[in-house]
Amino acid sequence: MSVALWYYVENGTSIGPVEGTEIERLIGLTTITSDTLVWQVGMQDWMVASQHFSFAGTPPPLNQRGFVQDGLLGETRIPTAINGGAPPRAFCEAISVCFLKYVGFSGRASRSEFWYWVLFSILAGIVTGLIDLVFFGVDNDFSPINSLFSLATFMPSLAVAFRRLHDTGRSGWWAGGYFLVIIVGVILVGFAAAGNPNGDGMFAFAGLFGLGVLGYTVMLIVFYCLKGHSEPNKYG
């Protein structure tokens, strides 16, 4: 997969191309600020860095018409709805950002970044499953390609879930706790099955546990769908 390359303006000069990780490093050094202009292939115009990268500071000021005023390139088109929150992402950009922030649990992710990643994971899962079907047959439970893909995307999936919750002002451990609940529940069901070889009470416990997990899942989906804070919060 190709890595998104960026250009940025410093002292009136375009510098690049550089990878997104280099942009983030320069942000940490304050070489690039929230109102530094950045651009990559596919964008119609230069945009301020705060639209595509996380900053702990305040957003760039908007003029009366809702645009950022820049002395070099004039008015940069920035929708007034984007006011310091997590930037919206296009499909390919969202996938690139999630891979670049492979274990990036800090910061924030917009709804588009999160749901485009979910869409990518579903589509790629179907494709890798079909590849396994072609090479290993219908009756073979061995699915190495799909299994490797699932393993490779687990951490970025968890990381973007953390960042999406951060965007709504919630702790990312709402997502981490989901997996902990499932692990603990499976262990308890196993103990219940071992202590009740005839299955007495085990199915009732498993059913209640399943309902609890379903409720937790619905709650997380609602959180993921909520609009993020339009202003900086404690997560970025």
Q: What is the pLDDT of residue 85?
A: 67
Contact between 22 and 8 (Cβ < 8 Å):
no
pLDDT in tens, 92-111: 999 999 999 999 998 899 99
Residue 169 has pLDDT above 80, yes or no: yes
Whether the pLDDT of residue 209 is over 80: the answer is: no
226 vs 48, more confident? 226
Q: Which residues are CB-contacts of 164 (< 8 A; sequence separation ≥ 6)?
A: 108, 109, 110, 111, 113, 114, 223, 224, 228
Average pLDDT over residues 207-234: 87
- Min mean pLDDT across 1-10, 64-73, 81-90, 95-104 is at 64-73
Q: Assign 236 a pLDDT band (cuts: 50, 70, 90).
A: confident
CA nearest neighbour of 48 among 231, 58, 166, 98: 58
The pLDDT tens digits of the residues spanning 117-164 come to 999 999 999 999 999 888 887 667 778 899 999 999 999 999 999 999
**What is the C-alpha to C-alpha distance for residues 115 and 3, in angstroms, rounded to an integer?**
20
pLDDT(230) > 90 = no
Q: To the nearest whole number, what is the mean pLDDT of the chain?
A: 80
* Contact indicator for 192, 202 with CB cutoff of 8 Å: yes
Domain range 5-76, its CATH number among 3.60.21, 3.30.1490, 1.25.40, 3.40.1350: 3.30.1490
Maximum distance among all alpha carbons in the chain?
78
pLDDT tens figures, 37-60: 888 877 777 888 888 888 765 444
Q: Is 129 exposed, middle or buried (0-12, 13-18, 19+ CB in 10 A)?
A: middle
- Listed in order, the ranges of the chain carrying CATH 3.30.1490 are 5-76
- Contact at 8 Å (CB) between 235 and 108? yes
Given a cut of 60, whether residue 202 has pLDDT beyond it is yes
Whether residue 116 has pLDDT greater than 80: yes
* Interatomic CA distance for residues 133 and 127, integer angstroms: 10
Range 5-10 contact pairs with CB under 8 angstroms and sequence separation of 24 or more: 5/40, 5/41, 6/38, 6/39, 6/40, 7/38, 7/39, 7/40, 8/32, 8/36, 8/37, 8/38, 8/39, 8/49, 9/36, 9/37, 9/38, 9/46, 9/72, 10/36
pLDDT number for residue 177:
86
pLDDT at 30: 84
Query: Do 20 and 45 touch, CB atoms closer than 8 A?
Result: no
Confidence of residue 15 (pLDDT cuts 50, 70, 90): confident
- Report pTM: 0.61
Q: Supply 96's token pair.
A: 């690139």
